[in-house]
Amino acid sequence: MQSGGDSLANRSANQLLVAEIARATERRSRLWRTKFLLTWGVIVAALVAFILVTVTVDSAFLKKVLPYILAGVPITLFLAVTSIFFATLLAAVGALGRLSSNPYFNGIASFYVSFFRGTPLLLQILFIFLALPQAGIVLPAIPTAIVALSLNYGAYMTEVFRSGIEAVPHGQTEAAMSLGMSPRTTFRRIVAPQAFRIVTPAVGNDFVSMIKDSSLASVVGVQEILWRAQTAGRPTFQSMQTLLVAAFIYWVLTIIFSLFQGRLERRMATGDRVQSRRS
């Protein structure tokens, strides 16, 4: 009876200790978030004060041109979403080529990665838009931007996908083979799903970067955010104000999609922990 009472007392003490640790952790977390938000607030306030002091802000003018600049947001997002889709397809094919034992496939994939990673994205856009017409290949502005962004980001993502595939333990491939799976089935059912989870954060980062790099499409006349900001400010020599508006819009877009990316990563990490407990 004494032993049972001691055991109950020990469990109660342990529960109290766990609850106290949880409360302390929560207090530290709230304090950290408060300091974090305070730091952001101070930096943003300083930045706004600097802009107000150094730039003459015409509120009536900004109110007039803001809807025009915001109309470029759908075009920017269309460029980014479409280009990241095709870049992902190119990266998947390129990664398989880089891992191929066939020297021809490997050579083509290696050249693709080397060329498009080794030349500026702006140069690629101008080449597709200005040089290809001399060979009889004429692309409008938006398809030009999509092709250039897809090829450029596909080259970078090829190495990401290759690393993701190689990160899957080789023992799992051997185990699948021993169960009678063909190489194609092993890749489709064992390797590819795990590699996809590994590369998802990197693909999210590339998408955020592509939102900003889509502004380079303005040089060929794509009416996205930057093009509209320059067009609105140039006639009245108020480009600095419109460019600041464009910068703020890009910043907000990247923050929003970064939050989505972080939420997706946490969800995937939670799924991995649950799966590891079950196994």
Mean pLDDT of 268-275: 59
Q: For residue 6, give every residue at least 6 positions away whose Cβ sits within 8 Å of its Cβ, in sequence order, or none.
A: none
pLDDT of residue 247: 94
Q: What is the DSSP string of 137-175?
A: ----HHHHHHHHHHHHHHHHHHHHHHHHHHHS-HHHHHH
Question: pLDDT above 90 covers what percent of the chain?
Answer: 56
pLDDT of residue 42: 94
pLDDT of residue 142: 95
Question: pLDDT above 70 covers what percent of the chain?
Answer: 92
pLDDT of residue 278: 55
Which pLDDT band, with edges at 50, 70 and 90, does 177 fall under? Answer: confident
pLDDT of residue 69: 95
Q: How far apart are CA 265 and CA 207, in angstroms?
A: 14
pLDDT of residue 267: 78
Q: How far apart are CA 161 and CA 99, in angstroms?
A: 10
* Low-confidence winner among 122-136, 141-155, 176-190 (lowest mean pLDDT): 176-190
pLDDT higher than 60, residue 76: yes
Q: In this structure, are residues 243 and 163 in contact, taking their beta carbons and an 8 Å threshold? A: no
pLDDT higher than 70, residue 65: yes
Q: How far apart are CA 240 and CA 246, in angstroms?
A: 10
pLDDT of residue 72: 95
Q: How far apart are CA 45 and CA 93, in angstroms?
A: 47
Mean pLDDT of 87-113: 93
